[in-house]
A and B are shown apart, each in its own frame.
Chain A
Amino acid sequence: MLLLDKVRRRFRALLRRRDVERELEEELRFHLDKAIEQNVARGMSHEEAVRAALFRFGRVENIKEECRDARGLRPLEEMWQDLRYGARKLLKSPGFSLVAVMTLALGIGANTAIFSVVNAVLLRPLPFERPEELVRVFGTNARRSSFSRPHSYLNFNDMRAQNQTFEALAAYGGATSALSGSDAPEQITGVISSGDIFRVLGTRPLMGRLLEPGDERPGGSNVVVISHGLWQRRFGGDPQIVGRAIKLDGREREVVGVTPSDFSFEFVTGAADFWMPIDPAEGPYKSRGSIFLEAIGRLKPGVSVAQAGADMGVVASRLEQQYQDSNAGIGVRLAAAQEDLVGDLRPTLLVLLGAVGFVLLIACANVANLLLARAAGRHREIAVRSALGAWRGRIVRQLMTESLLLALAGGLPGLLFALWGVKILSAFVPENVPRFGETSVDLRVLGFTLAASVLTGFLFGIAPALQSSKFDLNEALKDGGRGGTDGRGRRRVRSLLVVSEVALSLVLLVGAGLLMKSFFKLRNTDPGFDPSNTLTASLSLASVRYDTDEKIADFYRLLVERVRAMPGVESVGAVTPLPLSENNYSFSFSVVGQPPLPPGQGQSASARFVTPDYFRAQGVPLREGRVFTDADKAGAPGVIVVNEAFARRYLPGVRPLGQRLRLGLNNIEGEVVGVVGDIRGARLATPAAPEYYVPEATVAFTDMTLVVRAAGDPASLTPALREAVTEMDKDQPLYDVRTMDALVARSVARQRFSMTLIGVFAVLAMLLAAVGIFSVMSFLVSQRTHEIGIRMALGARQRDILSMVVRQGVVLTLIGVCVGLAGAFALTRLMSGLLYEVSATDPVVYGGITALLAAVALLACYVPARRATKVDPLIALRYE
């Protein structure tokens, strides 16, 4: 109330200044008139009365001034004055202002862009109701510590029924399905889940209804929920979609609802374009050994993740007791959903944010430099102001106002840069990075820009302001028109700026260098196969139409034959899972003849299912024995090919060929007939694991990926490949058509992303630092023109002058390099998680970067020094 009054009064005073002034005038006038009246009443003549009253009253203007002060308006008025004065000053030197504003815009813009990514990925809550209650539940395996084990449906069901801490618990798995109908068939990705998934997520339908617990029933309900995206894209936003039947994998399903447009579910790969309920009667859901479901739950209010973890642990150990065969050593691990989704992006993003922060700091140092140089020119102005009675704080405040004005002026174009930067970023962002697509400039980002601008203004403004307001008034005024000599204090500030610029950019360059080196190491890693000239394309046969193993095996055999006959094809094979894909089929096995392992201690390894020519098409070298032939099919004696890592690990000391393995899958028993080279598994960065190969014809997988080795450009084979599939089955889509080179590139996309960004920032930092050194050295040279003239007049040679100036810069650079090296040593440790086969203290990178930066700094010193040698002593001496 009181405060409100006060604010209102102040605003009135500020905005309606004239009224307030008039009232003050009138009030004092009234008093004066009263005094005159009294004097007249006491018997004075009118003139006397007036004179006496005025004499007693004192100086009206002084009183007014004090009244204004009393109203607490002074600071506001002064600020307004400072702002206008500062703006005028900045406009008067447009060159300086433009350079400063653009430098700042660059720094602030880059920071805002990166922050908007951090905001979208790390800060913004997941787009679900009360997202902090969402928790993912993983299985753990006592023998494989880092492994997140999926759940079997039966285990999940027990956990759902027996836990005490979850409001709801749902299971889901990514799925892909062929959508056929009037348009060309299309493979779409979606989710198969338990019926309560939307209760967990707290999502409400856009139309119709979402999945409900009743949908998860044996025999299956033929319902499907589709995404807003699919509804728009494939069904043209048909308002009658609810109740319509669509054909998925050859089976009719009724669309019961559509999810909202802002709904996304990034816990599965690919877009969640459809949602189908689990049918507990289907084979895969009836065994505790078939594990492929993920679980997500909503905690009861007030329950912590740790409490829920303890609760689920109890359930898990109960299941362990109950189902020794399948559950021995199986536990659970809980993780908050958001942290789980984006947790592994945090180090990258924080390193990026740090890097871009360094760029801003260097930009600040540059602007501070400019301000210092300008302050030298404004020496007299400041001296005069202070002679006229401005106290030091007032001058500092005025200079700071100017800096803030400058920083805010930089923030505005900075925001534009940021918008532009976000656009570029989202264009080359790697696939499958969760939440990145949501990057946008929201209120929080705007707040960040404002805060960054203000902070920047303080950072670059404070040192110059303090420096230039500190002087001996007498000295300054005596100094004539020469713009003042550079005081020792100011020179120290300037040196400090150069040193810190060099140091900061060195740290950044070293970081970029390390990332670059590890990226090149990664790119040059031999994947174990030959990715050149290879095209891959996936198929997923609908089990409704391909209902026997023979049909499936025949389809792939015929397709491979057909493709092999196409012109331009050298060899072709089919495989599942494709190398460098996230899919991984791990099955237990035992070596026949080795003593049986105790229950729960079985060994397992990743399996790949391949057609005979796959090894040739993929370029996986055969080390020993033979690969598969067309004769290795169902009914023939079982055969297995293992990789070298498998032979080393599980068949040590024996000749692998001729050994027999019994697989946990379909109880297949087979003889090892060949050993092939190791390949990089899920990612290029993960080392090769033990793997074995099984002929596709003996297991008949519906989902396979074709690998086609071409004589020329592999991408040109795409239309013919599609045609070949359509000719065999017009409802069968071909999807994920990519060259192997593209897959290799995708597998290192994240590393490329962070390397490129940090590289750009580091180069930016180096350029800014070079400009900074250059301008400082130029300034120092111009300050010493007189001195250099004298030296030359006294016989100094050009070389002496050159080395004198360069030495000054070199000393500063060297100090900066030392500080920077120490900083890099301390800071690059934080990014060791992002490095691949490169130590955070790699001497080559440190040495190379130091040499590079030193060379750039030297050049930045050399140019002004060179100019110094061109000084004509006559002119320099006359330059008074």
Chain B
Amino acid sequence: MSKQKTDLLQGTLDLLVLKTLQSGPTHGWEIAQRIQQLSEDVLQVNQGSLYPALHRLEDKGLIAAEWGASDNNRRAKYYKLTAAGRKQLQAETETWQRFSWAITRVLQSS
């Protein structure tokens, strides 16, 4: 592997999952794939964290699950954003942006 992999920062996985679901309902595998692709393989989603995260978000009512047919007609569990999830995504996105802006500022100072 040429590129260095980065472990996900604690708590950011939830944000990424919510963000991924913003473009429509999908299942766990797809979520992991998309995060990997969109981050150009920098972010590797570990299944061991992904599924507990999905169940936790569902328990909090931020996403909802539904069984549906996947591309090759297999039953798969699809997740979608709830209204509360959408709100949470917006709030967390802002927090994250402020946070990363701040970190960048600090690191750029000499």
- A residues sitting closer than 8 Å to B (CB atoms) are 2, 5-6, 9, 23, 26-28, 30-31, 33-35, 56-59, 62-63, 66-72
Counting CB contacts under 8 A, is B43 at the interface?
Answer: no
Q: Which 10 A-B pairs have the closest CB atoms?
A: A70-B56, A66-B52, A70-B55, A34-B29, A70-B52, A67-B55, A27-B77, A58-B48, A2-B61, A31-B29
Interface string of B23-64 (1 = CB under 8 A from A): 000011100100000000000001110011101101101000
Q: Which of B1-9, B68-76, B100-108 contacts A (4 or more CB under 8 A)?
A: B68-76
Counting CB contacts under 8 A, is B91 at the interface?
Answer: no
A-B contact pairs, 20 of them (CB 8 A): A9-B59, A27-B28, A27-B77, A28-B51, A30-B27, A30-B28, A30-B77, A31-B28, A33-B74, A34-B29, A56-B47, A58-B48, A66-B48, A66-B51, A67-B51, A67-B55, A68-B55, A70-B52, A70-B53, A71-B56
Write out the residue numbers on chain B whose beta carbons fall within 8 Å of the beta carbon of A57. Answer: 47-48
Given contacts A31-B32, A35-B29, A58-B46, 14 further A-B contacts (CB under 8 A): A2-B61, A23-B77, A27-B77, A30-B74, A34-B29, A56-B47, A58-B48, A59-B48, A62-B48, A66-B51, A67-B55, A70-B52, A70-B55, A71-B59
Asked if residues A63 and B29 are in contact (CB atoms below 8 Å), the reply is: no
Asked if residues B84 and A2 are in contact (CB atoms below 8 Å), the reply is: yes
Write out the residue numbers on chain B whose beta carbons fall within 8 Å of the beta carbon of A71. Answer: 55-56, 58-59
Asked if residues A26 and B51 are in contact (CB atoms below 8 Å), the reply is: no
Asked if residues A26 and B61 are in contact (CB atoms below 8 Å), the reply is: no
Write out the residue numbers on chain A whose beta carbons fall within 8 Å of the beta carbon of B29. Answer: 30-31, 34-35
Alpha-carbon separation in the docked complex, A30 to B55 (Å): 16
Write out the residue numbers on chain B whose beta carbons fall within 8 Å of the beta carbon of A31. Answer: 28-29, 32, 47, 51
Alpha-carbon separation in the docked complex, A62 to B52 (Å): 10
Alpha-carbon separation in the docked complex, A207 to B84 (Å): 61
Asked if residues A58 and B61 are in contact (CB atoms below 8 Å), the reply is: no
Asked if residues A5 and B47 are in contact (CB atoms below 8 Å), the reply is: no
Asked if residues A63 and B47 are in contact (CB atoms below 8 Å), the reply is: yes
Interface of B is mostly: helix
Write out the residue numbers on chain A whose beta carbons fall within 8 Å of the beta carbon of B67. Answer: 23
* Partner among B48, B58, B76, B84 whose Cβ is within 8 Å of the Cβ of A63: B48
Q: Which residue of B lies closest to A33 (CB)?
A: B74
Write out the residue numbers on chain A whose beta carbons fall within 8 Å of the beta carbon of B75. Answer: 26, 30
Q: How far is the CB of A65 from chain B (nearest CB, A)?
A: 9
Q: How far is the CB of A475 from chain B (nearest CB, A)?
A: 37
Q: Which residue of B lies closest to A34 (CB)?
A: B29
Write out the residue numbers on chain B whose beta carbons fall within 8 Å of the beta carbon of A62. Answer: 48
Alpha-carbon separation in the docked complex, A374 to B76 (Å): 52
Asked if residues A6 and B61 are in contact (CB atoms below 8 Å), the reply is: yes
Alpha-carbon separation in the docked complex, A34 to B77 (Å): 13
Known: A26-B75, A30-B29. A63 touches B61 (CB 8 A): no
Write out the residue numbers on chain A whose beta carbons fall within 8 Å of the beta carbon of B27. Answer: 27, 30
Write out the residue numbers on chain B whose beta carbons fall within 8 Å of the beta carbon of A68. Answer: 55
Q: Which residue of A lies closest to B27 (CB)?
A: A30
Asked if residues B52 and A67 are in contact (CB atoms below 8 Å), the reply is: yes
Most chain A C-beta atoms within 10 Å of own C-beta, residue among B55, B61, B84: B55
Write out the residue numbers on chain B whose beta carbons fall within 8 Å of the beta carbon of A69. Answer: 52
Q: How far is the CB of A56 from chain B (nearest CB, A)?
A: 7
Alpha-carbon separation in the docked complex, A333 to B27 (Å): 79
Q: How far is the CB of B86 from chain A (nearest CB, A)?
A: 14
Which B71-97 residues have C-beta < 8 A from chain A?
74-77, 84
Q: How far is the CB of B88 from chain A (nearest CB, A)?
A: 12
Alpha-carbon separation in the docked complex, A164 to B48 (Å): 78
Asked if residues A30 and B76 are in contact (CB atoms below 8 Å), the reply is: yes
Write out the residue numbers on chain B whose beta carbons fall within 8 Å of the beta carbon of A63. Answer: 47-48, 51-52
Alpha-carbon separation in the docked complex, A212 to B58 (Å): 68
Q: How far is the CB of A69 from chain B (nearest CB, A)?
A: 7
Write out the residue numbers on chain A whose beta carbons fall within 8 Å of the beta carbon of B56. Answer: 70-71
Q: How far is the CB of B2 from chain A (nearest CB, A)?
A: 16
Asked if residues A5 and B77 are in contact (CB atoms below 8 Å), the reply is: no
Write out the residue numbers on chain A whose beta carbons fall within 8 Å of the beta carbon of B52. Answer: 63, 66-67, 69-70
Q: Which residue of A lies closest to B53 (CB)?
A: A70
Alpha-carbon separation in the docked complex, A35 to B50 (Å): 14
Most chain B C-beta atoms within 10 Å of own C-beta, residue among A27, A35, A71: A27
Q: Which residue of B lies closest to A53 (CB)?
A: B47
Asked if residues A5 and B61 are in contact (CB atoms below 8 Å), the reply is: yes
Asked if residues B47 and A30 are in contact (CB atoms below 8 Å), the reply is: no
Alpha-carbon separation in the docked complex, A58 to B61 (Å): 27
Asked if residues B59 and A70 are in contact (CB atoms below 8 Å), the reply is: yes
Alpha-carbon separation in the docked complex, A35 to B56 (Å): 23
Asked if residues B84 and A58 are in contact (CB atoms below 8 Å), the reply is: no
Q: Which residue of B lies closest to A26 (CB)?
A: B75
Alpha-carbon separation in the docked complex, A63 to B52 (Å): 7
Alpha-carbon separation in the docked complex, A31 to B51 (Å): 10
Q: Which residue of A lies closest to B30 (CB)?
A: A34
Write out the residue numbers on chain A whose beta carbons fall within 8 Å of the beta carbon of B32. Answer: 31
Q: How far is the CB of B77 from chain A (nearest CB, A)?
A: 5
Q: How far is the CB of B1 from chain A (nearest CB, A)?
A: 13
